[in-house]
Amino acid sequence: MRLLFIKMIVLFMLILTACSHSSNEVIVYCTVDQVFSEPILRDFEKETGIKVKAVYDTEETKSTGVMNRLIAEKDNPQCDVFWSGDPVRNSVLQTNGITDSYQSEQTNLIAEYFKEKDNNWTGFSARARVLIYNKNLIATDSLPQSVFDFTDPAYKGQFAIANPLFGTTTFHIAALFVNLGDEKAKQWMNDLKANGVVIAASNGDVKKRVMNGELAFGLTDTDDAFEAQKESDAVDFVFLDQQGSDIGTLIMPNALSLIKGCPNTENGKKLMNYLLSKETETKLAKSCAQMPLIKGTELPDNVPSLDNIKSMNIDYDITSAKLRDIQPWLKQWAEQ
């Protein structure tokens, strides 16, 4: 009897230890560049004592790798928080029944436009799609003013986009399909191909090719463009489609989702509260020129305000559905 009692005590202590360990960690899957996201997660660890276990996407499979992993783990969730570089992936997960509703106090600080109506994802700190160019290869007054100018024969073979099957390029193309309609969007992409567009491996690859003088210009995100400016005096960037009735540039907020049935729900909520703050937005503005969504957030002089940018009108849920619909066509287009 005494031996049984001792065994029960030992078993109870083991359970307590396991629970204690589990309650002191949070697991996040992240598509945002590790060089920018990891320091913020480390700060969260220091300030809360909660251990962060992070899984990051690679540059080439940006936004797609960990999203597919979350779908595969649907019946046995291993992740607490999905931190995406754009809301479209979060919408895909929501459609698959993988996200859970969560509204923190900080969620109220974000404009309705940048969050899902049932709080399955909340946006913060945004990037924008921009044209990056090499000043030694093309004059400022010769630059395209719109993405639709890329089909001009004057630019034949001089420009690049990242592989449209991955990352923010997929998001951008899907948004254009929604705005233009499938027929016009497909014609535009076929015209790009006919005009010698270079399909780079990633946004970072677009940046490198332009910096190295291999190409005159290309489409990338503001964080890559700001990094290129730091690395080379020959590089600058502009926002496209900013005049009159132009379509506007694509604004891409980071997006956070709590995973349904996650192993560390309360710590997942604490991490989301931490990320949805002025302090985090200030850090991202300083480290990678992301534009804050919370009014009153400290903004470095070199980071543009969203108030001064003409943005593309976009419905994130519709764009998410379109992204899934056009994947087979995009794959065929990219591989031709």
For residue 133, give the amino acid letter.
Y
- 103-158, pLDDT tens digit by residue? 988 888 888 889 999 999 999 999 999 999 999 999 999 999 999 999 999 999 99
Say which CATH superfamily domain 2-126+253-303 falls into.
Answer: Periplasmic binding protein-like II (3.40.190.10)
Q: Are 124 and 297 in contact (CB under 8 A)?
A: no
What residue segments make up the domains of the chain, in order of their start?
2-126+253-303, 127-250+325-335
Give the Å distances, CA to CA, from 265 to 22, 151, 166, 262, 328. Answer: 11, 49, 29, 6, 36
Angle at 169 (CA atoms; ends 164, 170), nearest 5 degrees: 60
Residues 92 and 327: their CA atoms lie apart, in Å, by 13
The C-alpha atoms of residue 115 and residue 111 are separated, in whole angstroms, by: 7
Number of Cβ atoms within 10 Å of the Cβ of 146: 15
Residues 127, 121: contact at Cβ < 8 Å? Answer: no
Grouping H, G, I as helix, E, B as strand and the rest as coil, residue 140 is: helix
Q: What is the per-residue pLDDT across 92-102, written as a single tens digit (0 to 9) for each?
A: 899 999 999 99
127-250+325-335: same fold as 2-126+253-303? Answer: yes
Q: What pLDDT, in 10s, does the model give residues 229-260?
A: 999 999 999 999 999 999 999 999 999 999 99
Cα atoms found within 13 Å of the Cα of residue 181, Cβ hemisphere only:
2
- 278-288 and 34-48 are packed helices; what angle lies between their axes, rounded to 10 degrees? 150
What are the tens digits of pLDDT across the range 268-324? 999 999 999 999 999 999 998 999 999 889 888 888 888 889 999 988 889 988 988
Q: Can you give the pLDDT at residue 59?
A: 54
Q: Evaluate whether the domain defined by 127-250+325-335 bears CATH number 1.20.120.350.
A: no
Of 299, 295, 270, 305, the closest CA to residue 109 belongs to 295
CA distances from 316 to 204, 228, 251, 264, 312 (A): 24, 29, 11, 28, 11
Helices (H), the chain: 2-23, 34-48, 65-72, 87-95, 167-180, 182-194, 203-211, 222-231, 265-275, 278-288, 316-335
Helix, strand, or coil here: 172? helix
CA–CA gap between residue 250 and residue 241 (Å, rounded): 10
Half-sphere exposure of 241 (CA within 13 A, CB side): 21
C-alpha span between 143 and 149 (Å, rounded): 9
> What per-residue confidence (pLDDT) applies to 301?
87
